[in-house]
Structures are given as structure tokens and as C-alpha cells.
Structure 1
Amino acid sequence: MDSSPFSPYGELAHRLLPSFPSSGDGAHDVSHLERVWRNAMAIHAEEGGDLELLAASVLLHDCVQVPKNSPLRDTASRLAADEARKLLRILGWAKPRIETVAGAIESHSYSAGITPASLEGRILQDADRLDAIGMTGIARCFYTAGRMGSSLYAPIDPRGDTRPLDDRQFALDHFPRKLLKLVDGFQTATGRHLALQRQRALQEFYEGMLAEIGS
């Protein structure tokens, strides 16, 4: 019986995870992969697709990590796609299947701005973005802000009504700048349904925090 968090592809995970970077980033660690896999399985159950391709895409989508505040951030998904090609060739995968996985990985990133070409790519993008919203998304946002040395919010005009939003400097700015917009970009009906449930938590937290700080 496959007891892996990536069941029924525990063996594939066993072969690919040793290549996962040890960056110390708790927002993009193996537990993130596990959550994305659970999201992907939930979407796949309704939308279909090739589950093995989806498993490889989830396991490898962050196999190259670029810090959020790096000027090279927009290249992260392309670099991960290239690395995925190398790793899957070593496992003897056929080129068409490798390319489907690589395409899904390259298009999963918000920063890349690429529309997924395959169903597996659409599911991966949705599954990954689900982990960026809701309670877990809130935790990841402030964790990442702490790693970047950001402040919690701008003391003057926390909403950003009279200043440009700057989520590299103020964590709360990441909500209107990106997180609250993600729900509009989900690729599958199931993903959108799940996203709307998590969106409420984001909105309530954002408005609640603004109320507490007197904005």
C-alpha cells in the first residue's frame, strides 16, 4: 500500500524529491508540494486529466527556486521547466509527456503570465494558487514578508488609497496587489469553486486587520 503523501505516485515522489532544493523557504517546501497535490487531486476528481503527468508537474513545479525579491523572479518557472525536462529524461520518460509536464510548470507561475496549454497545466496552476489564498495563503504571505524584511503595513495610508502599493515593503499591500485578485484567474470550474471559499477568508482578514489598525 502506498502511504506516501503523494499516493498513488509515492515511488515517483521518492525518485524526484531528492532533487528538490533545500532553500529553507517554509512557504515553498515539501509541505507546500503536499498541499498542492491534495488540491490537484481534488480538482482532478472533477475535471479529469492524466494523473501521472499531474503528479510529476506538482513534484517538480518548484524544483528551481528564485527569491521573491530577486530581479530574476519572473524566470523561475522557466528554469524549473528546464530542470524538470532533465530529471524526467533521466527517468526515461517519453518526450511528449516530458513536454506536457514542462509546459504545465512554465505556465503555473503568476509572475510568468502564461496561459496553460494543457488540462494538467490548468489544474497545476489552480492547485498552486489555492495554496496562496485562504488561511494558508495568509500565513505564507506574512512568513515570506518576514523573510524579505518587510513591514506589516504602511503606518500612513495602510489601504494604499493615496500611494502606490508596494508589497516588497509592506506585507498587507500584497492582498490588494495580488492575493485578492487571484480568484478571477482560476482556470477550471472546480478550482474557481474552491477559490471562492478561500477568498472569503482573505477578504475578512484584510478588512479585519485594517479595522484593528484604524484604517
Structure 2
Amino acid sequence: MAGHFAPFTALAERLLPLSSPAGNDGSHDEGHILRVWRNAAAIQAGEGGDPRLIAAAVLLHDCVAVEKTSPQRAQASKLAAERAETILLAEGWSAADRAAVAHAVHAHSFSARVPIESLEAAIVQDADRLDAIGLIGVARCFYVAGRTGGGLFHPLDPMAEHRPLDDHAFALDHFETKLLRLADTFQTATGRRMAQRRTEALRQFRDAILSEI
């Protein structure tokens, strides 16, 4: 796996064992980290930024796990940022670089709502959000719903025309409450272009599944 993080293979070899907390969350596994890295590398190629800081932030952005159903969910990225600083201190990173990575880790989270203060943080946030939309976002959305006890969609009113949206109960509701709106939150021009394409894929999937049900 580490070889896919070139030119930061050595860094990935050291950080990957610390990057995914123990557990069975297949939506936040090493595959997720690799996809976020590929997204981040594509955005960085168009936007600039320090790729070393971006790589470390991507590798450590989910290094503390808090379940989506937990009341502490909004604290997950703060806890991950604190752990990332500790890990990078042991790696011998400077205080400035540790702080830059910690900020990117803290700010990547949708629920934390931390203002972006650097290009690197903007890239990491965009890269992570790209993995929540498009067809991989569809797969992750339904996976999380099943894992947390949610249903696919309301059997009689899938588009919530006569009921409140409830994305804890129904995966398809999450399209309307969050996923289809994410493109408006992207920080970089490159990320926004990528998000628009993936959002269109989300809409096409939603329309197709509605036509079937």
C-alpha cells in the first residue's frame, strides 16, 4: 500500500500503521486514505501547495475513530489533529510543520466547521469530500447506512415530499441533506471542477433509483 503514496513512500510506510484506527469501518479504511491521497495529488497538481504537508495530513486525517452515531462525532478531527501532532513530533518534524498538518487534519471535517487557513488544508478538505460524492460516495453512503442500522429509503415517500428528511433512518435522504450540497463547499477551483462531475453522477444515480422504485 505504501508504494502508492510515492514520492512519499517512506513516510507512508511509517504513518500508515498509525493512520487507520482499529475497527471494522470499511468507509474509513486504507482504501479511503489512498483515494483521498489520489484526489489530493490531483488537486495539488493544479493548485500548488506543499505536497509533503498534504501527504502527512491525508495519512493521518482519520487516525482517531469516532462513530458517526456518537455525540462526540464533531470532535473526531480535533482528536485526530492532536494525535497527528504527537506522531509527527516523534518523527522529528518542526513545530511549524506539525501545526500545519494538525490544522489540515482538524479542518478537513464537515462537522467540525473549522475555518480554512492554508492552501494545504483546503486541498485535504476538498480531497476528503470528493470521496463522499460520485459513485464511490454512493457506495459509502449505503454502506454506512447498513452499518449503523439505517434503511435504503422510505418505501412510500423516498423523496420526502410529505415528511421531514431523516438521513439517520434512510440512506437516500442523505443525498438531499448533504451529498448533493457538498460541491458548494469546495475550497479550490480544481476541487470544485472535480466535485461538479461527481455531483452529476450522484444526481444520475438518484434519478435512476427513483425510476426503479
For normalisation by structure 1, the TM-score amounts to: 0.96
Contact 2:2 2:16 survives alignment (8 Å): no
- How far, CA to CA, are the matches of 2:114 and 2:75 in structure 1? 12
Deviation at 1:3, TM superposition (A): 7.2
Hey, what does 2:191 align to over in structure 1?
191
- How far, CA to CA, are the matches of 2:64 and 2:164 in structure 1? 31
Hey, what does 1:158 align to over in structure 2?
158
- How far, CA to CA, are the matches of 1:133 and 1:3 in structure 2? 25
Hey, what does 2:134 align to over in structure 1?
134
- How far, CA to CA, are the matches of 1:37 and 1:201 in structure 2? 21
- How far, CA to CA, are the matches of 2:101 and 2:28 in structure 1? 19
Deviation at 1:211, TM superposition (A): 2.0
| Deviation sequence 1:59-112 (CA, Å, 0-9, x none) | 000000111111111111101001001100010110111011000111101111
3-state SS of the aligned residue for 2:4?
Answer: coil
- How far, CA to CA, are the matches of 2:179 and 2:115 in structure 1? 18
Report which stretch shifted further, 52-61 or 154-163: 154-163
Hey, what does 1:19 align to over in structure 2?
18
Report which stretch shifted further, 4-13 or 151-160: 151-160
Alignment of 1:36-55 (within 5 A): 36-55=36-55
- How far, CA to CA, are the matches of 2:29 and 2:177 in structure 1? 24
- How far, CA to CA, are the matches of 1:3 and 1:145 in structure 2? 30
Alignment of 1:23-102 (within 5 A): 23-102=23-102
1:8 aligns with 2:7: yes
- Note the residue ranges of structure 1 that are not aligned, 5 or more in a row: none
Hey, what does 2:173 align to over in structure 1?
173
For normalisation by structure 2, the TM-score amounts to: 0.97
Letter in 2 for 1:118: S
- How far, CA to CA, are the matches of 2:102 and 2:162 in structure 1? 42
- Note the residue ranges of structure 2 that are not aligned, 5 or more in a row: none
Letter in 1 for 2:70: S
3-state SS of the aligned residue for 1:5?
Answer: helix
Provide the alpha-carbon RMSD of the alignment: 1.2
1:121 aligns with 2:121: yes
Deviation at 1:149, TM superposition (A): 1.1
- How far, CA to CA, are the matches of 2:11 and 2:22 in structure 1? 19
Deviation at 1:162, TM superposition (A): 2.1
- How far, CA to CA, are the matches of 1:211 and 1:121 in structure 2? 39
Letter in 2 for 1:88: L
- How far, CA to CA, are the matches of 1:188 and 1:166 in structure 2? 30
- How far, CA to CA, are the matches of 2:74 and 2:163 in structure 1? 25
Deviation at 1:209, TM superposition (A): 1.3
Report which stretch shifted further, 3-12 or 32-41: 3-12
Contact 2:2 2:13 survives alignment (8 Å): no
3-state SS of the aligned residue for 1:64?
Answer: coil
**Number of aligned residue pairs:** 212
